[in-house]
Structure 1
Amino acid sequence: MAVAKMTVPELEQFLRREFPQAFSAGDIAIEAADGASCQLRQRYSEQMLRPGGTVSGPTLMALADFAMYVVLLSAIGPIGLAVTTNLNINFLRKGAPGHDVLAQARLLKLGKRLAAGEVSLMSAGSADVIAHVTATYSIPVAKGIER
């Protein structure tokens, strides 16, 4: 069982300080994070829709990438320079307009320099996955922080 290096309040504080452009708007909430998985909720707004009334791909990709960042930080601690090296997304069905989007991320492998994980994106109120994402993150060497 993984042991979280950062709690949800610690993650929120870190992200507000270090990554305000992604987290300070208040539209994304970290509902859970335990060092192995996390759940995020992006509150619905009309800005996330593309023509045709479906949740846009860029909205889903950004939320999935952010969810991977959150689960990774919960596992390794406050190493802000961890970056995405690969992200693959499969759009499975239309995201329902008018509903929040949930991201459930989990780490598949956590190494010293790379982490791999997956994210399932769903419209709130439905168990149907609207997009499935796999991602890899590069973890920089952090002096003084032991994992």
Structure 2
Amino acid sequence: MKRRDKGGTTKMRNAKMSVAEVESFLHHEFPQAFAHDDISIECADGSTSLLRQRFSERLLRPGGTISGPTLMTLADFAMYVVLLSAIGPVGLAVTTNLNINFLRKGQPGQDVLATARLLKLGKRLAVGEVLLLSGTCPDPIAHVTSTYSIPNA
């Protein structure tokens, strides 16, 4: 079911999977995503998701900033989570494109938050965007757009 928000944007209302169901599915199908026990899914509602990457020294690159691969991984995972919450347990949905713009340095010692939202959900493709935030700072450290391919049911 879809509804229009005040800005006229169409949003999906009914998630096909809850956070607990997404986590259970991922722990079974994609356990390596939780290998370091440092990513948590805080929200997934069929149109948005919020993930938290807890700070660890292993996330830093020389110079003390959060590494690009860390940010790309978190963004891709956040997009996968929101997609699963929208379409259900489709393990073979895969990233076909991911574009990231690094905007500013993430602060060492701070968790990284990924807020993902679906922009378009079709039968075969899903397009979304992810903002990556450092700690409680409202200014994003990176902006990501991503496309996922959804296999035939």
Which of the numbers 60, 67, 70 marks the counterpart of 1:49? 60
**Is it true that 1:136 corresponds to 2:134 in the alignment?**
no
TM superposition score normalised by structure 1: 0.95
Instruction: Give the alignment's Cα RMSD to 1 decimal.
Output: 0.7
**Is it true that 1:11 corresponds to 2:22 in the alignment?**
yes
Displacement of 1:121 in angstroms is 0.1
Output the CA distance in 1 between the equivalents of 2:35 and 2:67: 21
Output the CA distance in 2 between the equivalents of 1:27 and 1:71: 18
**Matching residue of 1:26:** 37
**Matching residue of 1:40:** 51
Which of the numbers 70, 73, 78 marks the counterpart of 1:62? 73
TM superposition score normalised by structure 2: 0.91
Letter in 2 for 1:104: T
Letter in 1 for 2:18: T
Output the CA distance in 1 between the equivalents of 2:121 and 2:140: 24
Displacement of 1:24 in angstroms is 4.3
Letter in 2 for 1:91: F
Which of the numbers 83, 95, 98 marks the counterpart of 1:87? 98
Percent of pairs with identical residues: 74
Displacement of 1:16 in angstroms is 0.4
Equivalences for residues 79-118 of structure 1 within 5 A: 79-118=90-129
Displacement of 1:124 in angstroms is 1.5
Letter in 2 for 1:125: T
Letter in 2 for 1:5: K
Displacement of 1:75 in angstroms is 0.2
Displacement of 1:125 in angstroms is 1.3
Gaps of 5+ in 2: 4-11
